[in-house]
Each structure stands twice: as C-alpha cells, then as structure tokens.
C-alpha cells in the first residue's frame, strides 16, 4: 500500500474514533460556581429576578460596548426577558428569559443562543447567617451530536470562569450598596 493510502486510512480511522468516542461522552453538561454574599436572600433575589441591573454584574457586559440590549415582558419574575445583539462572534445574539421564580430561593432562566442549543441557568439562594450563598448553574443537552458532546467537555473551563467572575461582581455590587438598594 502506498504512503498516501496509509495516511488516508489512518485519517479515516482517526475521524471514526473521534466520532465513536463522541457518542460515548455524556449527552448533557452541568457547570456551577458559588459565592457567599453578605446580604440577605431577599436583596440578592431582587437583583437576580430582573434583567434591569444584569449588566452591573454580568461577566459578559463590556466585551462589546456596542452590544444592543432590549428588555421584554414584565420588569421581574417569570416572563421577564432580555435580548442582546452584537456583531462580535464572542458575544453574538441571543435571549434569556426567566422561566421560574421562587421568592428568595430560586431564579431559573432559559438561554437561547443564536445558532446553538438552548440552555438553562439557575440561581439557587440559601440563607447563611445574615448572608446568602448563591449557586449559579448551567445545564445544556447535546443530544446525539458527537461534536457537541466533545465541546461539552470544555464548557466547565469556558463558562465556569465567567460564572466565577460574574458572581464576584454580583458580590461586589450588592455588598457595596446600601441595604435594600438591590430592589428592582
């Protein structure tokens, strides 16, 4: 067999192994980060249950100063939404909508990224003395797409750092403001 044929066969075997390996990977990905904030759950919940102040602590705000934001639905709670649109590929276009809201406990959101699978993000609040422990989690399904499953392996590294930065900013914003200023 010629060298070219051997290389072609090796390449096909490698591609086949990558595809087959992808099917053996998890069909979903879960990412989460947490922080303790020296504010009661009601204040933290008020900040998370609305998108009106999202960009004060968002880890992505500022990646493209020309990003356009529009708000939809009610100001807070289930149905409140925010769309964004940027020409930069690392920001892109999408929408997030609050789909679950339990006062002082949980805010669940649906994330719709243009050209990608939808995902769910959840903020879970737990009282810790006079403060609040906030867990920000992200869940997405990859279905039967082996390439998406390979990317799922990297989501913790990609999204986890953003979540940690965002939670750090949320902590700074809430702890540096006067009590009850996070409402709205």
pLDDT tens-digit profile of 99-156?
A: 999 999 999 999 998 877 788 999 999 999 999 999 999 988 777 777 777 677 777 8
20 forms beta bridges with none
Domain extents for the chain?
Answer: 3-176
Do 150 and 36 contact (CB within 8 A), yes or no?
Answer: no
Quick one: pLDDT band at residue 171, thresholds 50, 70, 90? very high
Architecture of domain 3-176: 2-Layer Sandwich (3.30)
Could you tell me the two tokens for 120? 């769910």
pLDDT at position 114 is 83
- Single out the residue of 123, 99, 94 nearest to residue 110, CA to CA: 99
Which DSSP category does 24 fall into?
A: H
If phi > 0 it is left, if psi is from -120 to 50 it is alpha, else beta; for residue 175 that is alpha
If phi > 0 it is left, if psi is from -120 to 50 it is alpha, else beta; for residue 46 that is alpha
Quick one: pLDDT band at residue 182, thresholds 50, 70, 90? very low
**What's this model's pTM, rounded to 2 decimal places?**
0.81
pLDDT, the chain, mean:
87
Averaged over 37-58, what is the pLDDT? 96
Cα→Cα distances 119→11, 13, 138, 169, Å = 34, 33, 7, 22
pLDDT at position 2 is 86
- Residue 29 CB contacts under 8 Å (≥ 6 apart), including other chains: 138, 139, 140, 142, 152, 153, 155, 156
pLDDT at position 181 is 44
Q: How many CA atoms lie within 13 A of 180 on its CB side?
A: 0
């Amino acid at each position: 067999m010629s060298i070219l044929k051997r290389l072609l066969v090796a390449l096909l075997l490698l591609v086949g192994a990558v595809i087959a390996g992808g099917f053996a990977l998890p069909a979903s990905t879960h990412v989460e980060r947490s922080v303790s904030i020296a504010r009661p759950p009601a204040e933290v919940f008020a900040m998370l249950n609305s998108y009106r102040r999202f960009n004060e602590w968002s880890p992505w705000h500022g990646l493209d100063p020309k990003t356009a934001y529009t708000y939809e639905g009610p100001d807070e709670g289930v149905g409140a939404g925010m769309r964004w649109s940027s020409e930069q590929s690392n920001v892109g276009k999408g929408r997030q909508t609050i789909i679950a809201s339990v006062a002082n406990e949980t805010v669940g959101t649906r994330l719709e990224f243009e050209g990608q699978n939808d995902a769910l993000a959840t903020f879970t609040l737990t009282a810790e003395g006079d403060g609040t422990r906030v867990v920000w989690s992200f869940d997405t399904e990859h279905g039967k797409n082996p390439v998406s499953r390979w990317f799922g392996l990297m989501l913790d590294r990609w999204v986890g750092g953003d979540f940690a930065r965002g939670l750090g900013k949320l902590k700074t914003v809430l702890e540096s403001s006067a009590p009850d200023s996070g409402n709205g």
